[in-house]
Structure 1
């Protein structure tokens, strides 16, 4: 079972008085101001007619609250606090999305494999970036940008090039859902290892891939 810390980004907590009852606006502002990360407005999960739906109004949506709110989403990426205030004031339950391929890429693995890899990496004293956990039982490992096109070669060098591993990498023109956004009907994305001063400098993907691939391989085989 994944053990999540109580800590998170150093940011103001939820403020019901100003409408930020889920703390999403505060978190989005902290990503911009404390980490210098770009953010992207997402959709939200809404309750309608006794069931959960996505605010995009597509009744067949398979990514409830987990995709951009705008079709031209790449033009909506921002690091401007004023835009964050405006969007989350009008849409207080909107997900926060983090565009990848800019400040970081993200390696996405199953939770069980990710926990095994995380334990091994920490025991070895490896440099670690932030790690997020989703309610869909996935772990997101944040690494330096530019990793996505290199991952196949990294897997090959680690001896896993021909294996069908459940390991994905998000890079240029991709995005991930950020804590504390709601994702689908299962709950909220959380930080397993929150961003802080100790992990401000992200690792190269090559430092994590051998261990992540091994952990995924154990789950696969």
Structure 2
């Protein structure tokens, strides 16, 4: 068997299994992301734009936010038509996602587990971030919560994906960077934690692991 063909088949099977899990077990809305089309050593984004700014790393449909679905039959139809599509999960609906650099995320995860803090799923992205999935509403509350905790003017590389934003779900390959992976997999028995329960530890870990000196709070929603 051709190695490339075999790899593509395994990737397709893993993506479809993930889509089924997210929609049928978690009831998370999904939408399709772009992927790379390879020609020998060259690769281009399936969107067809020669100057694509993020090849293989953006939603395939410009109307992705309104067309995301949590209906199994609709998801099956989409991925049967384009089986190489990556899996995009809109945020601000079933969950929000707190994003931090991987060293800070790893440190925060260890601390939170040692404290016995209830945790939700955690994703590691190939561009060096950890995503803590939390109950929806975190993006809107984040500046106030950080102010309450005294982190509003600290050096904290911390972002929150909320309404109108998205994350790529494992095992989606992100362009040439690699694939998103679960650090803590979703568990149907686990409720998503409120951001306020995790935020103090996450912010402290970001501050402690920051390579920069000075500066201000970095927030994005």
The aligned runs of 1:14-29 (5 Å cut-off) are 16=9, 21-29=12-20
In 1, Cα distance between equivalents of 2:127 and 2:159: 14
Q: Is 1:111 aligned to 2:105, yes or no? A: no
8 Å contact kept, 1:102–1:145:
yes
In 2, Cα distance between equivalents of 1:191 and 1:62: 26
Partner of 1:11: none
66, 70, 73: which one aligns with 2:57? 66
In 2, Cα distance between equivalents of 1:59 and 1:215: 40
8 Å contact kept, 1:25–1:84:
no
The aligned runs of 1:1-221 (5 Å cut-off) are 16=9, 21-48=12-39, 50-198=41-189, 200-220=190-210, 221=213
What is the deviation of 1:79? 1.1
Give me the TM-score of the superposition, normalised by structure 1. 0.86
What is the deviation of 1:179? 0.5
What is the deviation of 1:49? 5.6
Size of the alignment, in residue pairs?
205
CA RMSD of aligned residues (A): 2.0
Structure 1 runs, 4 residues or longer, greater than 6 Å off: none
In 2, Cα distance between equivalents of 1:85 and 1:15: 18
Unpaired stretches in structure 1, ≥5 consecutive residues:
1-13
8 Å contact kept, 1:41–1:76:
no
CA deviations over 1:37-80 (Å, ceiling 9, x no partner): 11111111222362333211223333332221111112221012
Unpaired stretches in structure 2, ≥5 consecutive residues:
1-6, 214-221
Q: For residues 21 and 173 of structure 1, do their structure 2 counterparts lie closer, same or farther at Cα, with a shift above 3 Å needed? A: closer
